[in-house]
Structure 1
Amino acid sequence: MTATTQTAQERDTDHGGERDSLLTKILVRQETTLVLVMLVIGVFAASRSSLFLSPDNLSEILRSSVIYFVIACGAAMLIIGGGLDFSAGAVFTLGALSTCTLLVNGVPWPLAVLAGMAICCAVGGVNFAVITYLHVPPIIATIGSFYMLTGINNLVTGGSDVLPLPESFQWIGQGSVAGVPNDVLIAIVVGVVFWFLLERTRFGVNVRALGGNRQAAVGNGLRVFRLDLTLYVIAGATAALAGMIYSARVGAGQVTAGGTSITLNAITAVLIGGVSLMGGMGTIQGIAVGAVLLSLIDNALVLASVPPQYNSIVVGAILVCAVAVDHLRRARIYRKR
């Protein structure tokens, strides 16, 4: 065997090893597991109802996942950076009600949207200040914000929905472009922006570093306070945007919208999607799959005439498994180091 032939064989072996390694990485990714779960649920639902695979139903599954996904983008960025926000459901409602109140009083919808977003960004800043300067644990501070904002939402509106909304604003949630619903298009734009921030910018690198090891991040000169503030403001902004999309879809600012269900579903989508509750790890594409999976489970069980109680059982089981997988994944990573 010549040296040239041996070298060629070694190169082929190396390339084969690289391909095997890439395939292994793809197979062990949490998104891959979730896609397989979605396929199993899809086959089950399609076998129970011919409506499942209809274009209208598949579109509805995507639209139902939009709210969870938009909130989850900001929540995930915060968790990856080592923070936590349980006020999202109340901020969701605050953003919707403040925007809708301005709309019914004649404010043009672009200005109303910006004002509602600014209010909720300020809430994120308040959460940051309470956590940072008063040294209140994030889970306590944001749960406290949740209850206070829920009370404020009811006091300001008197418990009544805010309507009617201008058609130009409702088009955001009810219209479509080239057959694709506007809310789905908005979610795609939000997803691309957050993916770019997390994967292709220095900001994303700093967020992962902060969540992975806060003390090391401080030691390396990261502006931790500024980064934390930015992450809490972003979480408030995405919760507000989701509330506005929902209001545009239903044509009213609903006091009963949001709440604990929105908060828990968004956090569940984040964790199921592979974001580590301990910080430092997670992807936007994983969150997207997690959000669609939640919507898919709900849709499939309804079409299969399965009692709604089973929805909670299935989601809870998947959440526990996802967190367990995250624990094993982190243990494996640190063992390698």
Structure 2
Amino acid sequence: MTLSAQSSTPERMPLFRRGLKAFVDIRELTLIALIVTIIIVMANLNPYFLSFSNFRAVAVGMAPTAIIVIGMAILLASGGFDLSVGSVMALSSTVVAMLLLAGVPIPVAVLGGLILGAIIGVLNGLLVTGLGINPLIATLGTMSIARGIALVLTEGFSVSSLPASFAWIGKADIGGFPVIVLVTILLVVFFDLAVRHTRFFRQAYFIGANEKAAMLSGIHVTHVRIILYGLTGVLAALAGVLLASRLMSGTPTAGNGIELQVLAAAVIGGASLRGGEGTILGAFLGVVFVALINNTMTMLAVSIYWQMIVIGGVLICAVALDMLIRSKRS
């Protein structure tokens, strides 16, 4: 019996290690486990945590971040990133609100806000690919410009008194679920499937993994990157429109610091700052994870300033874990 037990141990250990390695490598499974753990722990600490109203508030609050992280995840996969998303979100919400106050029909105003986001995104792409400016510097500059324009247009004040019908986008429910949450889920599902099954979005991963090899294989790296930056700008603008509809005001200070949360969520979800990795589903689960951490700290009466420290620490840990996993693989 002893010999049998000893001989079976070496066979079991590799299987256990393979299972553990697969669990760590598949970031979505790791995040689901962490999310479930947070829910179980908080359910014991605070019964209100499991209430429908709390989950609804968390879902509605994280919707703009979840929409923006879609574009950020694809950009990271291609080897780039965008720090201007929060400012684009604020500027688009402000411009849409001002157009509505001027009597512009809602569809036209919303379209104008999305076009503005696309223009800023394409500008970022041109700065990075055309002029060869580092994405950090290029998007940091457009972040400051977009935020400055929003503040100049409004003199720092929110634009309110919007048409009542505009609230439907951000406040209405369908079957008991907020429209803003349903729109977010549809976008996540659509882009996750598109990234997995369409040739164009798969090119982003080839570019991020090896740009020179991608060029030699016939991929138009410049065109793909410009389109991806434009898409990120559109998604940031859409998040701004939905936020303006929910708050019924265009706020020039909206989205301040959201780029940190978006980056943290994308990296936690499996995206790499070196490019070539990550999924939309993983990035979305990263947003859920970060939102639950914020909600947990709020319910435990943790100061908002400590929440910022925790999110920064989570980002550092996520990047460190990503680097450790990469070094182990190589």
Aligned residue for 1:180? 177
Cα 1:151–1:119 change in 2 (3 A) is same
Q: For 2:35 and 2:227, locate their aligned partners in 1 and report how far apart those are by CA, in whole Å.
A: 34
1:157 matches 2:132: no
Report the alpha carbon displacement of residue 205 of structure 1 after superposing the two structures with TM: 1.5
Q: For 2:290 and 2:70, locate their aligned partners in 1 and report how far apart those are by CA, in whole Å.
A: 15
Q: Do the aligned residues in 1 keep the contact of 2:23 with 2:30 (CA within 8 Å)?
A: no
Q: For 1:226 and 1:329, locate their aligned partners in 2 and report how far apart those are by CA, in whole Å.
A: 31
Q: For 1:28 and 1:176, locate their aligned partners in 2 and report how far apart those are by CA, in whole Å.
A: 37
SS at match of 1:52: helix
1:325 matches 2:318: no
Q: Which range moves more in the overlay, 183-192 or 160-169?
A: 160-169
Aligned residue for 1:73? 70
Q: For 2:316 and 2:34, locate their aligned partners in 1 and report how far apart those are by CA, in whole Å.
A: 14
Aligned residue for 1:230? 227
Aligned residue for 1:281? 277
1:293 matches 2:312: no
Structure 2, unaligned runs of 5 or more: 1-13
Q: Do the aligned residues in 1 keep the contact of 2:48 with 2:54 (CA within 8 Å)?
A: yes
Q: For 1:245 and 1:277, locate their aligned partners in 2 and report how far apart those are by CA, in whole Å.
A: 28
Q: Once the two structures are superposed, what CA deviation does each residue of 1:294-337 show, in whole Å capped at 9, x if it has no partner? A: 1111111111223334323432332222212222333344x3xx
Aligned residues: 317
Give the 5 Å matches for 1:1-337. 25-26=22-23, 28-259=25-256, 261-333=257-329, 335=330
Letter aligned with residue 156 of structure 2: G
Letter aligned with residue 268 of structure 1: A
Q: For 1:194 and 1:315, locate their aligned partners in 2 and report how far apart those are by CA, in whole Å.
A: 26
Q: For 1:309 and 1:228, locate their aligned partners in 2 and report how far apart those are by CA, in whole Å.
A: 36
Report the alpha carbon displacement of residue 268 of structure 1 after superposing the two structures with TM: 1.4
Q: Once the two structures are superposed, what CA deviation does each residue of 1:166-197 show, in whole Å capped at 9, x if it has no partner? A: 22221111111001101100101110121122
Q: Do the aligned residues in 2 keep the contact of 1:45 with 1:303 (CA within 8 Å)?
A: no
Q: Aligned-pair RMSD on alpha carbons?
A: 2.0
Q: For 1:28 and 1:223, locate their aligned partners in 2 and report how far apart those are by CA, in whole Å.
A: 30
Aligned residue for 2:10? none
Q: For 1:310 and 1:33, locate their aligned partners in 2 and report how far apart those are by CA, in whole Å.
A: 25
Q: Which range moves more in the overlay, 193-202 or 311-320?
A: 311-320
Report the alpha carbon displacement of residue 220 of structure 1 after superposing the two structures with TM: 0.8
Q: For 2:301 and 2:221, locate their aligned partners in 1 and report how far apart those are by CA, in whole Å.
A: 50
Structure 1, unaligned runs of 5 or more: 1-16
Q: Do the aligned residues in 1 keep the contact of 2:261 with 2:311 (CA within 8 Å)?
A: no
Report the alpha carbon displacement of residue 255 of structure 1 after superposing the two structures with TM: 1.4
Q: For 1:154 and 1:308, locate their aligned partners in 2 and report how far apart those are by CA, in whole Å.
A: 24
Letter aligned with residue 164 of structure 1: S
Report the alpha carbon displacement of residue 217 of structure 1 after superposing the two structures with TM: 0.4
SS at match of 2:138: helix
Aligned residue for 1:6? none
SS at match of 1:154: helix
Superposition TM-score, scaled by structure 2 size: 0.90
Letter aligned with residue 322 of structure 2: D
Letter aligned with residue 286 of structure 1: G
SS at match of 2:158: coil
